[in-house]
Amino acid sequence: MSNVTLQQVRGYLTTQQWSLVSTPDAFIEVWRCQGEKGGELLLPTEQAIDKDFLLNESLRKLASIKDSVVSEIIREVRELTENLVSIRVAHRDVNDGSIPLEDGIALNANAKELISAAANAALERRPLYQGRPPALVSALLQSARLGQTTHGSYVIHVFCKDPPQNDQPMDFARVTTRVLGSALTGLKSALEKYEESGNTILFEEALTRGASANLCDAIAKFSGKDRARTVEISLSADAVDQLAPSPRTIIEFPPSHQPHLRVAAEYFRQTYTLLNETIIGVVERLDRRAEQDAGVVRVATTLSNGVQRSVSVQLGINEYPGAIHAHENKQLVRVSGNVIVTPRTASMVEPTGFRIYGNFELFE
């Protein structure tokens, strides 16, 4: 069996500059390509009783015309008519085309997580996806197919297509593939910039392009238990009904990105550190022991990444009285330092430059 349909073969021929020139009867089609020597091909129609046998014969003829083999033609047909995601891991321990069993299992399992993260992002951008996925995402995962592995270090292929009964107005598989490309490109750019600056705020741009903690986790686990392998993800949206095939997108994550992927995942899980952060806000709570002159204040503010939090700040004996005055008079305060954020808390480490703003001073 060819594992491709007549519709897919027709779509493939169209992208390769073949054209349908005649239909002698209800059971056969004649296709021709001026650019190929002997470029005439007979295709069965859906009405042909032995269409599967005839389709295989057509593929053999096409392989002969293109000086190729049937398996390669089928691979090309699927690449151009389905949404293909290929995941390649490279390291000397997989150069022979094999991979440790445990890592191979993880590679296949996290391929599903990668597609799931992109499909969720196609519906709604979020830093973390939890719980039961939407019905459209579940249907896409159920219809996705794992292709045969190929040589080249170690490579697996995932073919994404919409389920047969899909009634959505959009080609969700194609949209998911393109969102995945956007998310991977945005994440790689953010990782490279973070490597230079150490500023986690850079991951916000990747979030808007579809990156998430789920995506980061999947890529990290592709690299193996020791996180030593280079991960290369290539993808292409199907080319059917397009004027030209979509260019293949290739994104590579070297082992040096592994520590930064963990930081990005923690950031998306709302566990991160904002370096050299300056906050401005209202003192909403004071907390100190009776026998102490210093204490902790909580400042309601909006962080530089747009998140609204109440930040705990430890003030010394010289600053705390000013915080009391600001609290009683509802004045704004300003303080700088590194802010550690978790899902439940936000606190500033080694605060400096605490000051109180007057009624109009902030706008000067």
Whole-number Å distance between alpha carbons of 331 and 230: 53
Print the domain residue range for 252. Answer: 83-268
Plot region of 153 (φ>0 → left; ψ -120 to 50 → alpha; else → beta) = left
Q: Mark whether 230 and 103 lie in a shared domain.
A: yes
pLDDT in the model for residue 362: 47
Strands 19-25 and 28-32: antiparallel
Domain total for the chain?
3
pLDDT in the model for residue 243: 41
Q: Mark whether 165 and 241 lie in a shared domain.
A: yes
Residue 289 lies in a domain: yes
Q: Mark whether 108 and 250 lie in a shared domain.
A: yes
* Whether 15 contacts 9, CB under 8 Å: no
**196-202: long-range contacts (C-beta < 8 A, 24 or more apart)?**
198/275, 199/274, 199/275, 200/263, 200/264, 200/267, 200/272, 200/273, 200/274, 200/275, 201/274, 201/304, 201/305
Q: Mark whether 321 and 355 lie in a shared domain.
A: yes
Please list the rounded mean pLDDT of every run of 10 residues in the chain (364 residues): 77 81 90 76 90 91 89 81 85 86 92 96 93 92 84 82 63 89 96 93 93 96 89 76 59 95 93 90 90 90 91 94 92 94 91 81 47
pLDDT in the model for residue 80: 72
Q: Mark whether 231 and 290 lie in a shared domain.
A: no
Residue type, 2: S
Could you say which of 81, 99, 128 is where a domain stops?
A: 81
pLDDT in the model for residue 71: 86
pLDDT in the model for residue 7: 81
Q: Mark whether 261 and 276 lie in a shared domain.
A: no
Residues contacting residue 1 through CB under 8 Å, at least 6 positions apart:
52, 56
Task: State which H helix or E strand residue 119 sits in.
Answer: helix 101-123
E strands, 153-271, where?
A: 154-160, 230-236, 249-253
Q: Mark whether 198 and 240 lie in a shared domain.
A: yes
Residue 245 lies in a domain: yes
Whole-number Å distance between alpha carbons of 297 and 195: 33
Q: Mark whether 122 and 187 lie in a shared domain.
A: yes
Q: Mark whether 56 and 92 lie in a shared domain.
A: no
Q: Mark whether 45 and 109 lie in a shared domain.
A: no
Whole-number Å distance between alpha carbons of 1 and 221: 35
Could you say which of 42, 63, 81 is where a domain stops?
A: 81
pLDDT in the model for residue 305: 84
pLDDT in the model for residue 273: 86
pLDDT in the model for residue 363: 42
pLDDT in the model for residue 166: 54
Q: 319, 302, 321, 322: which is closest to 310 by C-alpha?
A: 302
Could you say which of 216, 242, 268 is where a domain stops?
A: 268
CATH of the domain at 322: 2.40.50
Q: Mark whether 88 and 47 lie in a shared domain.
A: no
Strand order in the sheet with 230-236: 145-146, 154-160, 83-90, 230-236, 249-253
Whole-number Å distance between alpha carbons of 257 and 191: 7
